[in-house]
Amino acid sequence: MTTSASVKALALLVLLTASARAQDAAVGKTGAPAAASPTNVATDAAGSIRVRVGVPYVARGPGAIADSWFTETKLPDGRYRGFTALGSTLAIDGKEPYSMAGPAATVLKPGPPGSPSSCGECIQHVERQGKTLVGWVHNETACNYAKGQTHASMTIATSSDYGLTWAIEGPIITGTDPPAAGKDTGDSCPTVIRDKDEFYYAYCLRNGGQSWNGGYTFLARAPIARPGPGNWNNFITAALTSRASEASQVQSRHWPSAIG
């Protein structure tokens, strides 16, 4: 690092520290704001960087909270319904996506022993499609969490009551590796993008994304009008730009036959 860069970095660190101290001074012992709160915005020497130090929002907890991704949809009355999971999927209502204060209602539970969802059925993403809510469901089976073992796959589900009840349509993305002792195997897709090219793009993890376990991140897509089983294709080869909207420009030979 050059001397000039070091000086700038040190100056920014001092400003951030001063800002944090100002924020601490503005909060009393009870956590309530003091009567006269000093500014909590620091400006760097060049006047081009502004940093606000504030209290983070807490959506759920403390106590037993879910270990899955969080996704939400807006309800007709202006509130939001969020979904997260801990083996079973929970629906939670709140005024804002960052303020889910309502009670948690179980809307999906693990399947029967030996099924692809015997250890968990977790909604990871939802999208509105007309009056239907589409959910991407992460399933786990052959699990032994104490030894770091589980096997994942994805199904698609639909709901006509904003996610209070769900119909599982079937599997859409499954891994090629069988369950293995002490390993994460299978495919899971925590993020989905609805693009303007009439496709859903799912960002997925093979074998938990663990490089030491042969895992990696990959992309799959399906038409928005037909996101059900048999319509998902896995991106295998060729460089893909960072914008999912440009994925449709990749030659079709790079999107092999449906994987679910």
- The verdict on residue 65 lying in a domain is no
Q: Are residues 87 and 208 in the same domain?
A: yes
Of 93, 87, 81, the residue nearest 128 (C-alpha): 81
Q: Both 136 and 47 in a single domain? A: no
Kindly state the DSSP code that residue 97 receives in the 8-state scheme.
T
Same domain, 15 and 121: no
Tally the domains of the chain. Answer: 2
User: Could you tell me if residue 61 is inside a domain?
Assistant: no
Q: Is position 64 within any domain?
A: no
The CA-based diameter of the chain, rounded to the nearest angstrom, is 65
Question: Which residues are CB-neighbours of 64 under 8 A, at least 6 positions away?
Answer: 86
Nearest to 228 by CA among 168, 163, 139: 168
Tell me the residue range of the domain where 18 lies.
3-52
Same domain, 8 and 85: no
Radius of gyration of the chain measured on its C-alpha atoms: 23
CA-nearest of 117, 66, 63 to 92 is 66
Any domain includes 259: no
CA–CA distance, 133 with 135 (Å, rounded to integer) = 7
Residues 41 and 92 both lie in one domain: no
Q: Which residues contact 128 (CB under 8 A, 6 or more apart)?
A: 73, 134
129 shares its domain with 25:
no
Q: Are 99 and 133 contained in the same domain?
A: yes
Q: pTM for this one?
A: 0.70
DSSP, res 178: P
Q: What is the pLDDT along the chain (260 residues), one digit of tens a residue?
A: 444 444 344 344 333 344 433 333 333 444 444 444 444 444 444 466 666 566 555 556 655 567 788 899 999 999 999 998 989 999 999 998 888 888 889 999 999 999 999 999 999 999 999 999 999 999 999 999 999 999 999 999 999 999 999 999 999 999 888 999 999 999 999 999 999 999 999 999 999 999 898 899 999 999 999 999 999 998 754 443 333 333 333 333 344 444 44
Please check whether residue 37 lies inside any domain of the structure.
Answer: yes
Element (H, E) at 7: helix 3-25
Please give the structure tokens belonging to residue 87: 């083996």
Which of 120, 174, 108 lies closest to 145 in space, CA to CA? 120
CB 148 within 8 A of CB 184: yes
CB 100 within 8 A of CB 94: yes
In a domain, 163, yes or no: yes
